[in-house]
Structure 1
Amino acid sequence: MDYGDNDAYGFPSETRRHRLPAVLRAPVEARTWREFLYLLLNLPMGIVGFVYAVTMLSLGAGLLVTFLGVPVLGALLAGCRGLGIVERARARKLLRHDVPEPARTPGRGQGFMAWLGAQFRSGVSWRHVLYCLAHFPWGVFSFVLSVTLFTYGWGAFTYPLWKWVFPAYLGQPGVQLYGDGHGRSWYLDSPLEQLATSGIGLVMVLGTPWVIRGMAYVDRGLVSGLLGPAGPTALATRVTELESDRGVVVDTAAADLRRIERDLHDGAQARLVALAMDLGLAKEKLTEDPEAAAKMVGEAHGEVKLALQELRDLARGIHPAVLTDRGLDAALSSLAARCTMPVSVEVDLPARPVPAIEGIAYFTVSELLQNVSKHSGGSRATVDVWRAADRLMIHVSDNGRGGASADAGSGLAGLTERLGAVDGVLAVDSPPGGPTRIAAELPWRV
């Protein structure tokens, strides 16, 4: 199967091959305009952050001789963190740079003094203040440079189109490059000079997007380094995520054990108890009424078959033997054969993943196909599994009515949590009217 037209989650990629080289596309690409807008907003955002930080810092330091300086500095830290939220959102929207939110300041709900003390001890808060102070000079520089290159580049490139305004309205043959007030002057008025000006402008137009991108990378570094989790903060955030994932794993394991216990108690165990009673009655009637005893033994034989089938189904729900023996390809094909609609399965794996990931992948597809059978209303489904670098990719789609969601409270939300416990990802694309496409990504090893 060719996955070259799919993105990282198996959805059709929006990228396509271009006939024009990147240097010619760059001036009109959406990325260039987004990053240019980001650099334009650097100036007002830098002014707001710098003025707020300097004002509150000066006021707080001046009032430290009284108690009033402490809450003022606390407001400085809290306000800069609020500006950090805006800056991360701006980077996410315009630079397509998603910076995780740093750890929240402890002390909430414990009183004003506890919150204030936590603010002063938080390295994250002080890094936000540093960002507000450092971003202002960079914002001025990036604004001026990007606007200058942009306006001079496009102005010079299009000079032959608007050169006529000088003789028509200003009484001079073109743009004046030199004049000493004694009759000596130099105007860009000849065709050759206009062509040279336009050529220089073209070079600036083609080069400006790359300068803009370079400055945008500097902004990405500032936002990541000063407004995101870093160092011990990032480690603490990761520890918190792992603790949450561990809780999900424990809860899931406990729920599975309760389900197995309930299935055994209500299913196979109940049938075996009834079987024992039937065999006891048959034993009593064996000498008195052999025909009735034989009939009861026959019924008991049927109960044994049903109990064995339920035990097989239960064992398959815990870990199917075909998965252990033959791997995902055979296990998913067997799973698809039991689905209520036609399901095409294609597995392209160079080797088998570790058993834990293999089991998670199997039960992920199993749950997704159950949702397809119960809720999609479609007539067919497809399952694709392949390896991409060190990740196991799963893509399940159907032609049903759509509307599936991984919002809290849904079955897909629980599946998302279980995948997240092993650093997996679940992506859902299900517009109303369909089709539904769900992609799961798992680590190849844990």
Structure 2
Amino acid sequence: MIREINFDGIVGPSHNYSGLSLGNLAATRNAGHVSRPRAAALQGIDKMRSNLALGLVQGLFVPQPRPAGEWLSDLGTTIEGADRHIAANAMSASSMWAANAATVSPSPDTADGKCHLTVANLKTMPHRSHEWPATLAQLRLAFAGDAFAVHGPVPPAFGDEGAANHMRLAPSHGEPGVEVFVFGVSGGPFPARQHVEASKAIARLHRLDPGRTIFAAQSEEAIAAGAFHNDVVAVANGPVLFAHEKAFADRDELVAQLSASLPHFELVEVPDAEVPLADAVKSYLFNAQLVTPPDGAMTLVAPTECRDTPSVASWIERHLASNGAIRQVNFVDVRQSMANGGGPACLRLRVQCDPADVDPRFLVDDAKLDRLAKVIGDRWPNEIASDEIQSQSLVGAVVQARAALLDALELSELG
């Protein structure tokens, strides 16, 4: 039976605030602050517990090796000898944002009846450009069966940042859907992260029906406001598109295409007059998980910043009172991730498949989360200051912490 599984990235022990992501306003604003890797990872564990309590199937991806030794070697240096900015790129824990791990097309949408996954090349930002080999290794392990087709990255001339720029709308997870690939052009001083050529390549690799595949441009105004990925201003679930009024370059055309392609399509649009674009980006209202629990009550898993932003809190209250498509909101504390520019939706990759086809080591229950929380509590650094990332003691602690987590999950082959 096909169900949606949210695979959350565990926040790695090297989580720090180095401000590496141009266009990510939160990451830039908090550059140089002291980070709290242990608290960050435990916040992520609590979010997974909350999703399990909703009746959802929950998975995980593990942190990548840090420092990124092979990348440093290719640059002819080491973590100790590297320039400060190179060392920061090698110690980033950004793979925790699993929405950028890959683009996923489930079996009802593909010509060969397989669930296709294409690892993102993340070529635009140096600190993410070296992630894909380790991500691909996890994807090929977790989705090794005949039910899946796992693809390498799109050639790096064309930027691809994965599911953060991809939406799927369908009557249900097990029925054929419409896949929307959102690409960027530019937004003020900020680069586009998702190129239309990459999106089109993935649609071909996944053997999608051109008649049920849409390519839509992100608005330059949204990019300039800090929506470096589409999932900062829009998210879809089932037949519902939840989006800010200024999310897309041609909103009317996209709505017309979805209305023509999808029975019972519903747009839940937030007007800029009610929630200004700046408030939407600051609160990450749309970088929430929009999910359907077994009871059928569509739920928004939103960061606590939404509750703390008056315009956003007021809109949520009005929508719930109207008996709209979103029936309930669960607020989660992921402040450590938010401070680096990633909300609840950034932390997870959605895969619609039969859970029985997935390597069980990548699926969790409360007991497994208990074990992981113990490892994190014992091994993850409590704090990291930005001037510590090249210290031998920190590097050793990060390496040992990750090894302990892999042992707890019986995933030592990823070492």
* TM-score bucket (shorter structure): under 0.3
Which structure's CA Rg is the greater one? 1
More strand by share: 2
TM-score, reference length from structure 1: 0.19
Bigger fraction of residues in helix: 1
Scaled by the length of structure 2, the TM-score of the pair is 0.20
